[in-house]
Chains A and B, each alone.
Chain A
Amino acid sequence: MTIRPFTFFGGKGGTGKTTCSAAYALALARRGIATLLVSTDPAHSLSDIVDTALGNDVRPICENLWGLEIDAEAEAKRYIGEIQDKMLSIVSAAIVDEIKRQMEIAYTSPGAEEAAAFDKFVELMDKQGDPYEAIVFDTAPTGHTLRLLSLPEILGAWIESLIAKRRKSLELFKMAGRFEEDLMKRAANDPVIESLTRRQQRFEKSRKYLINPESSAFFFVLNAERMPILETSRAVALLEKFGIVVGGVVVNRVIPPEAGDFFAARLTAQEGYLRDIEERFGGGGRKLVHLPLLRFDVRGMEQVSEVANLIGGIDA
């Protein structure tokens, strides 16, 4: 069986994404695969489940398993710091001072943290196989993640049109500058086009990873209840529209038959929902896994390890 380098777990809030991703990552690690477990959710809960303090740098959890919680704010700060350093080496300090205010605006603009998280995400995907053979992403609740995954498509097209516009403008400068050297200099090797093209290539690359079923798959975690089913089927449709492969569905907290009288009514309702899930998501080579409702909530690697036994085969 080949191991996909990237696995995503997503779904509605509170359905058990973090537990499932931790369990699956552990299952991979136990097979001897160097695995990195990454949380992209701004409200991290990975540390709480694996019982190890994680942060914005990679830290070991257990053998073959490392953890990382992406801190979008810190990433954005680092990015802007780099730009400021670069600016100081290109333009005069007086201009940098004038421009600082504008950088603050960009820093607080909507989408900045999302973009920072996405950048980190692309950076991780770029390091494929070195040193981690598999990366498991514990993503934020559906909306945030869908936006994150659709970014390469949307921003890629935008940047492409920016490049085309810039090219056209430089062409004009070339025409106008036939007898003027400084206009000519403007048009030759433009750093703006260079930088935009680099961005576009990064988007293109991450998109290629995302839509290749051999390199990544998305797994939805849901409960056998009405709302998670509806939300998941919308999300599946959207991801498939963007060409991202949905590898399977994990039905979490399935009430076992021995649950007792109190759950009797829920149990009958659940049967209907499970059939519904089977019908909606069962086709197309997608894998279905049921995880039973446990007596306790999952905490610490020992308990995660029990879940890992159940979820390990989802990539088969």
Chain B
Amino acid sequence: MFGRLWERLKKLGSAFYSGKAAAVGEWLWLFVVASFLEKRYAAIRKEAWDSNDNIMLLLFGDYLGLPNPVSYYTLELLPYLAEEMLPWQRRIMNRQSVAAEKAAQYDFT
């Protein structure tokens, strides 16, 4: 592993000396993203999609049998959300284990 990193660094060094600052910058940036940022953003992204699913449930819960006093009015949102509708239904009806879903929110590594 260290061997490969050394190879990379040597390449980087030669890129630096030959004036390819942009390539070095990109390499550094990808390094930062992959080692520090990506994991955190993945957690937020998951949270965002989960909250989106919850909103779909609040808006169109009556399709799953949950009464909704404003179902007549949420109908007019359907044109904007129609594309999300079927995947959402598949997801929500296919939930296997709530415990596993909860566990997936935490980083055990």
Contact = CB atoms under 8 A, between A and B. Distances in A.
A80 interface: yes
9 contacts: A89-B79, A109-B62, A154-B69, A165-B55, A166-B55, A175-B48, A176-B48, A178-B41, A179-B41
A1 interface: no
Interface of A: 76, 79-80, 83, 86-87, 89-91, 95-96, 98-99, 102-103, 105-106, 109-112, 115-116, 154-155, 158-159, 162, 165-166, 168-169, 172-173, 175-179, 183, 191-192, 195-196, 199
A195 B51 contact: no
A102 B60 contact: yes
Interface stretch (B19-27, B81-89, B93-101): B81-89
Interface of B: 33, 37, 41, 44-45, 47-48, 51-52, 54-55, 58-60, 62-63, 67, 69-83, 85-86
Contacts of B33: 179
A301 B41 CA distance: 72
Contact of A105 (B37, B63, B80, B81): B63
B76 A195 contact: yes
A274 to B, nearest CB: 40
A189 to B, nearest CB: 11
A42 B98 CA distance: 46
A199 B45 contact: no
B82 A91 contact: yes
**The 8 residue pairs across chains A and B that have the minimum distance between CB atoms:** A172-B48, A115-B72, A176-B45, A169-B51, A176-B44, A87-B79, A191-B80, A173-B48
Contacts of B51: 165, 168-169, 172
A215 B97 CA distance: 55
Given A95-B83, A165-B55, A83 B41 contact: no
A175 B75 contact: no
Given A162-B59, A166-B55, A168-B51, A91 B83 contact: yes
A199 B63 contact: no
Contact of A192 (B44, B80, B85): B80
Given A111-B71, A112-B72, A96 B82 contact: yes
Nearest to A101: B63
B69 A102 contact: no
A175 B63 CA distance: 30
A90 B63 contact: no
Contacts of B76: 79, 83, 195, 199
B46 to A, nearest CB: 8
Contacts of B79: 83, 86-87, 89-91
A99 B75 contact: no
Contact of B62 (A105, A173, A179): A105
A159 B73 contact: yes
A165 B52 CA distance: 9
Given A169-B55, A176-B45, A99 B72 contact: no
B47 A172 contact: yes
A292 to B, nearest CB: 43
A241 B71 CA distance: 26
Contacts of A102: 60, 63, 78, 85
Contacts of A173: 48, 52
Contacts of A175: 44, 48
A169 B48 contact: yes
Nearest to A198: B76
B38 to A, nearest CB: 9
A111 B72 CA distance: 8
A171 to B, nearest CB: 9
